[in-house]
Chain A
Amino acid sequence: MHKRVVFNNRVLPYLLLAPQILVTLVFFFWPAGQAIYQSAYIPDPFGLSSQFVGFGNFEFLLSDRYYLASFKTTVIFSTLVTVLSMGAALWLAVMADRVIKGSSAYKTLLVWPYAVAPAVAGVLWLFMFNPNVGLVAWYLKAMGYDWNHVLNDGEAMGLVVVASAWRQISYNFLFFLAGLQAIPKSVIEAAAIDGASFARRFWTIVFPLLSPTTFFLLVVNIVYAFFETFGVIHTITAGGPQQATTILVYKVFSDGFVGQDLGSSAAQSVILLFVVGLLTVVQFRYIERKVHY
C-alpha cells in the first residue's frame, strides 16, 4: 500500500498536486456545492432575489407527477438497456469462445461500436427509423405496421433502448469473452464426458462461474444507462413524445436550460448525486471482493 522509501521535499508534492486539485475544486466541488445551495432556494422570475425554502424543492419534486414519471422511465430504460446489451453480448461471447479459427477477426468486428459516440449512435438509428425516409420504417409500413416513434411512446422508448444497447454490446462482449476464456476447459470437458448437453453445461457450470463478470457488468451498464445515454436521447427523441423518454439526467438538463427552473434542477442534481454515490459504493465494494478471489 505504501512505499518504504520516499523523497523528502516540502514544496514539490503540493506543486505536483496543485493542477488536479485546482480543477477539482473549481469545476467539481464548487458547482456541486452550488447545486446543494441552490436546491434550498426558489429564485424569483426576474432572477433578482431568491427565497429560502429548505427542503421545499425536494418535497415538491417527490410529489411531482412528472418527476416521478421520469424516475419510472429511467428504471424501465436502464433495465431494458442492461438486459438487451448484456444478453446479446453474452450470446455473441459464448459463440466466439467456441470457435478457434477467426475468433480474433470476430472480436475486431465486434469491439468497434464502443468507439461510436452515443450521440452518433443516436443519429445512425434515427436515420433507419425516421418515419419519412427511414429504410426500416418504410419496410415496416410495407408490412402493414405504421412506425412513428415521434408520436408513439413505446416506439420512442424502443428506439432509444436499442440505440443505447447497440453501442454497449462491444464492451460487455469483451468482458464476457475474457470471463469465458478464464474458465478452465478441463471442467467443461469433464461435464461433456459425463454426457451433459451444451445448454446444461452452460447453465450449471459456465454461467455460475461467470457471475463475478456478470455482476460487475450489471453495475457498469446501469451507470451507463443512467448517465451516459444523454446523447442518444437528445438526438433521437429529445425526451419526447411528451416526456416518454425523459430520463432523470435529461430532465436536469431540460428543466435547468430549457425550462430555466433552477431551484428544481439543482434539487434534481442533488438527488442524482446520491444515486451516483450509491452506485460508486456498490462498484467499489464489489471490486474489493474480486481482489480476495
Chain B
Amino acid sequence: MSGMVEKHGLGIWLTHLGLIIGIAIICFPIYMAFVASTVTQPEIARPPMPLLPGGHFIENYTAALTRGVNSPVLLMLFNSSVMALGITIGKIVISIISAYAIVYFRFPFRMAFFWMIFLTLMLPVEVRIVPTYEVVAGFGMLNSYTGLILPLVASATATFLFRQFFLTVPDELIEAARVDGAGPVRFFIDILLPMSRTNIAALFVILFIYGWNQYLWPLLITTKPDMNTIVMGIKQMFPSGDDIADWPVIMATTLLAMLPPVAVVIFMQGLFVKGLVESEK
C-alpha cells in the first residue's frame, strides 16, 4: 500500500527533475571554485572565466600547499588539524567525566555545578569577544595551540548528551560491578566507556566539524601567519589594495579547507545524522 500516492507517472519524473535542479544550484559554487583552482590567473582576470576545468590542477595545488600567500597551506592544514582534534578530544574527555560525576555520585553542590555547565550555552564566544581575548592574552596564550583550543573545550551539549545516555544505563550494571569489587574508576573504564562508543563517535563527527570551522576565535588569537588556521587564513590571502587576488591559489585553498569536514560528513553520514539529532535533544 505504501507506494500508492503518486509514485509513478509524470509526477515522479518532475519530482526527480526538481531535486536535480535544486542539487545543481547548491553544488554550483563548489564547481566554480573547482574550475577556478585548475586554470591560470589571467584566465580568471579576463572575464568571463572558463566553465570547464583547465589543466593547471597540480600546479595550483602544489603552489598553494607549499607556498600559499602568507604561509604554506600545508602548515595551515596542520594548525587546523591540531585545533580541531584538540577541541574535539578535549570536549569529549572533559564532558564525559563531568557527566559521570554528576550521574554516578552524590555530593554537595552537584546541581550547582550542573547549572554552571548549562549556563555556558548562554555565553557563546561571539558575545564576549573582547574580555575573553583579554583573559587569553593575559595568560600569554596568543599565537599558541593552547590559546586556540583551551577556551573552547567546555561543552554543555556534550555533557548533557553523556548525562542523558548514562541515565538510560540499567542500575543492575553498577550493582553487579560492585559485587565484583569494582570501584568507580574500574566501572567507568571497563563498562561505561565501551558502552558509550557510538555516542562518542557521533559526537566526534559533530565536534570535529565545529572545531575545524572555527573562524572568529583563531582570527583574534593568531596574529602570526605561521599560526593561522586554514579557514581563517583564506581571507588573509586577499591583497589589501587594488591588486588582483591570486584566485587559482585561493580557490585551491578554499577547496582544501572544506575537504576534511565534508569528507567526514559524506563517509560517516550515519554517525553525523545521529550526532546532529542527539545534540539537539
Chain B residues, CB < 8 A from A7: 104-105, 174, 183-184, 187
Chain A residues, CB < 8 A from B52: none
- B117-A120 in contact (CB<8A): no
- A109-B27 in contact (CB<8A): yes
- The answer to whether the Cβ of B113 comes within 8 Å of any Cβ in the partner chain is yes
Bound Cα distance from A257 to B104, whole angstroms: 44
Q: Looking at the complex, which one of A17, A114, A124, A132 makes contact with B33 (CB distance below 8 Å)?
A: A124
Q: Which has the most chain A C-beta neighbours within 10 Å: B36, B124, B151, B174?
A: B124
Interface residues in A68-108 (C-beta closer than 8 Å to B): 88, 91-92, 95-96, 98-100, 102, 106-108
Q: Looking at the complex, which one of A19, A166, A220, A287 makes contact with B26 (CB distance below 8 Å)?
A: A166
Taking A19-B94, A124-B29 as contacts, is the C-beta distance between A35 and B184 under 8 angstroms?
A: no
Bound Cα distance from A129 to B155, whole angstroms: 37
- Mark contacts of A108-147 with chain B using CB atoms, 8 A cut-off: 1 yes-contact digit, 0 otherwise: 1111111111111101110110001111001100000000
Taking A28-B120, A230-B215, A234-B235 as contacts, is the C-beta distance between A23 and B153 under 8 angstroms?
A: yes
- A20-B167 in contact (CB<8A): no
Bound Cα distance from A138 to B46, whole angstroms: 10
- B95-A138 in contact (CB<8A): no
- The answer to whether the Cβ of B10 comes within 8 Å of any Cβ in the partner chain is no
Residue of B nearest to A228 (CB): B126
Chain A residues, CB < 8 A from B69: none
Chain A residues, CB < 8 A from B151: 23, 27
- Mark contacts of B241-275 with chain A using CB atoms, 8 A cut-off: 1 yes-contact digit, 0 otherwise: 00010010011001001100110111001001100
Taking A9-B105, A117-B212, A220-B280 as contacts, is the C-beta distance between A32 and B113 under 8 angstroms?
A: no
CB distance from B101 to the nearest CB of A (A): 4
Q: Which has the most chain B C-beta neighbours within 10 Å: A4, A135, A166?
A: A135
Instruction: Tell me which of B17-25, B70-78, B196-204 binds A.
Output: B17-25
- B132-A92 in contact (CB<8A): no
Bound Cα distance from A120 to B213, whole angstroms: 9
CB distance from B276 to the nearest CB of A (A): 7
CB distance from A227 to the nearest CB of B (A): 5
- The answer to whether the Cβ of A164 comes within 8 Å of any Cβ in the partner chain is no
- A5-B12 in contact (CB<8A): no
Q: Which size class do B's interface residues fall under?
A: 35 or more
- A253-B7 in contact (CB<8A): no
Bound Cα distance from A133 to B121, whole angstroms: 42
- B45-A189 in contact (CB<8A): no
- The answer to whether the Cβ of A245 comes within 8 Å of any Cβ in the partner chain is no
Q: Looking at the complex, which one of A88, A120, A133, A266 makes contact with B231 (CB distance below 8 Å)?
A: A120
Chain A residues, CB < 8 A from B134: 31, 34
User: 3 closest pairs, A vs B, by CB?
Assistant: A117-B213, A31-B131, A34-B131
Some 22 contacts from A to B, beta carbons below 8 A apart, are: A10-B107, A12-B101, A13-B105, A14-B101, A16-B98, A16-B101, A20-B159, A21-B98, A23-B151, A32-B128, A107-B269, A113-B26, A116-B258, A118-B215, A119-B231, A133-B45, A133-B244, A171-B276, A174-B276, A192-B5, A230-B215, A234-B216
Which residues does B use to contact A, with CB under 8 Å? 1-7, 11-12, 15-16, 18-19, 22-23, 26-30, 32-33, 36, 44-45, 47-49, 51, 93-95, 97-98, 100-107, 110, 113, 116-117, 119-124, 126-136, 150-151, 153-155, 159, 167, 171, 174-175, 178, 183-185, 187, 209, 212-213, 215-216, 219-220, 231-232, 234-235, 244, 247, 250-251, 254, 257-258, 261-262, 264-266, 269, 272-273, 276-277, 280-281
